[in-house]
Amino acid sequence: MHIILLSGGSGKRLWPLSNDVRSKQFIPIFKREDGQYESMVQRVFRQIRAVEPDATVTIATSKSQVSSIHNQLGAEVGVSLEPCRRDTFPAIALATAYLHDIQGVGRDEAVVVCPVDPYVEDDYFVALKRLSELALHGTANLTLMGIEPTYPSSKYGYIIPETPDAVSRVKTFKEKPTEEVAAGYIAQGALWNGGVFAYRLGYVLDRAQELIGFSDYQALFSGFADLQKISFDYAVVEHEQNIAVMRFGGVWKDLGTWNTLTEGMSEPTMGKAILGDACENVHVLNELNVPVLCMGLKDVIVAASPEGILVTDRERSAHIKPYVDGMNGPLMFADKSWGRFRVLDAQPEGLTVKVTLKPGAQMNYHSHEYRNEVWTVVSGEGETLIDGMTQHIRPGDVITILAGCKHRVKALTELTMIEVQLGKNISVTDKQKFQE
């Protein structure tokens, strides 16, 4: 089975645990049996592997998310890199061409497309296998998964099937309605459109070439920024006459706001948090190394990270975006392919950062034009390469790197350092990479 996971989104609605680099699907929020936390993307990837160990998984995403993907999933997952955001039709066309031209997937093989961030159980992935089989052996050009609705929602589009059978031809589609109109659709047997569908690879390649016009993956990638922003539903689905829908009645939740996200938590707190006896329906998610104490609160969500602290009424939490849009400041934390960093202090001409590298990981060999750096090793052991010279480093070592020096660090064990950046023009763009 070939699966394309669409990984989009920004860091607005789940601030301060998300930012421009870490979207909601990368927040480690779900507690596993071993007591460790995993993110939405880690949970979905683990579930796919449990149901279909040989599945080919490709994540369609932007450059800003690649480091987080590799940090959380490793290098085994395929990545279809979008040069910029152009909505779901260009993203799916590019990922399909990537599977064909780069991964060697044949035109007659089935491909399943779904979002990366639903909260589902294993039966959802069993249903994806069935969807793939319908695409491979059925007569429809597109086969959608229709989610059996649990309430009249204005957040989703609706699929109205011709019959109440488990698999039916599609009668029509409806845009996101009011709740009152949605209740009428459900009475007609309508299903939620969760953005999950399957097709033979050649079908989407042909449709994309008709609508976009390109010779191969590289040509599509090179011209990606000039493509029209349009969803797959508008570009393809709503114009396809030979289309079917498969019902799915299992657990399916879109955890897109703080209110809905906390519904997926197995415990009311994450991190250092204390809830007083009088607290009712309170969730605390704390990524700071200081305790959060809540007393006498009801229907409240508290979230804390180096980006800031959110205290919100549960129902009002969905209206956070306009406030976050007005916030400006440096990126305070991020997951990288080599590990993670967190800003401890930001001054006009100085930045203090805690850097943690995973065992065996290393940064790129690079230099900075406008800033000096001072590294202090806190724990672990590693190796530096500075202007071609290597040095073993251990706790207590201090390394000074002047502007213009080529440098990188490699972790022999998990390595934690405090990095002080000094200069008048400190910027993430001040970086030039080199081959060692």
Place of tokens 């590294």: 375
Residue 291 tokens, joined: 């305790």
- Does residue 402 lie in a domain region? yes
**Range ranked top by mean pLDDT from 225-239, 323-337, 370-384:** 370-384
33-60 mean pLDDT:
93
pLDDT recorded at residue 256: 81
Indicate if the pLDDT at residue 41 is higher than 70.
yes
Residue 323 tokens, joined: 């406030």
Same domain, 285 and 356: no
Indicate if the pLDDT at residue 75 is higher than 90.
no
pLDDT recorded at residue 343: 93
Confidence grade of residue 111 (pLDDT, cut at 50, 70, 90): very high
Last residue of a domain, one of 271, 295, 325: 325
Last residue of a domain, one of 283, 299, 325: 325
- Does residue 330 lie in a domain region? no
pLDDT recorded at residue 182: 93
Same domain, 246 and 348: no
pLDDT digits (tens, 9 = 90+) for 166-189: 999 999 999 999 999 999 999 999
- Does residue 41 lie in a domain region? yes
24-48 mean pLDDT:
91
Rounded distance, CA 36 to CA 22, Å? 19
pLDDT recorded at residue 98: 97
Number of domains in the chain: 3
Burial 243-277 (b: 16+ CB within 10 A, else e): bbbbbbeeebebbebbbebbeeeeeebbbebebee
The enclosing domain of 379 has a CATH number of 2.60.120.10
pLDDT recorded at residue 10: 65
pLDDT recorded at residue 155: 87
Same domain, 249 and 264: no
Same domain, 318 and 342: no
Residue 359: is the preceding peptide bond cis (ω within 30°)? no
pLDDT recorded at residue 9: 72
Same domain, 405 and 286: no
* Burial grade of 302 (CB within 10 A; 0-12, 13-18, 19 or more): buried
Question: What percent of the chain has a predicted confidence (pLDDT) above 90?
Answer: 81
Bridge partners (DSSP) of residue 293 are 274
pLDDT recorded at residue 265: 87
* Least-confidence region, from 58-62, 80-84, 218-222, 315-319: 315-319
* Least-confidence region, from 38-52, 83-97, 275-289, 324-338: 324-338
Confidence grade of residue 264 (pLDDT, cut at 50, 70, 90): confident
Same domain, 219 and 365: no
pLDDT digits (tens, 9 = 90+) for 401-435: 999 999 999 999 999 999 999 998 888 889 999 99
Same domain, 85 and 33: yes
- Does residue 332 lie in a domain region? no
pLDDT digits (tens, 9 = 90+) for 126-151: 999 999 999 999 999 999 999 999 99
Same domain, 197 and 284: no
Indicate if the pLDDT at residue 11 is higher than 70.
no
Bridge partners (DSSP) of residue 274 are 293
Confidence grade of residue 386 (pLDDT, cut at 50, 70, 90): very high
Confidence grade of residue 19 (pLDDT, cut at 50, 70, 90): confident
Long-range contacts of the stretch 269-278 (C-beta < 8 A, 24+): 270/29, 270/31, 270/37, 271/304, 273/302
pLDDT digits (tens, 9 = 90+) for 218-262: 999 999 999 999 999 999 998 999 999 999 999 998 888 898 889
Q: Residue 81 CB: number of other CB atoms within 10 A?
A: 16
Last residue of a domain, one of 234, 254, 274: 254
Residue 227 tokens, joined: 């493509």
- Does residue 333 lie in a domain region? no
Domain of 266 in residue numbering reads as 260-325
pLDDT recorded at residue 392: 97
Same domain, 169 and 279: no
Same domain, 139 and 7: yes
pTM (two decimals):
0.87
Same domain, 282 and 184: no
- Does residue 362 lie in a domain region? yes
* Least-confidence region, from 17-26, 292-301, 303-312: 17-26
The enclosing domain of 50 has a CATH number of 3.90.550.10
286-312 mean pLDDT:
96
Same domain, 228 and 284: no
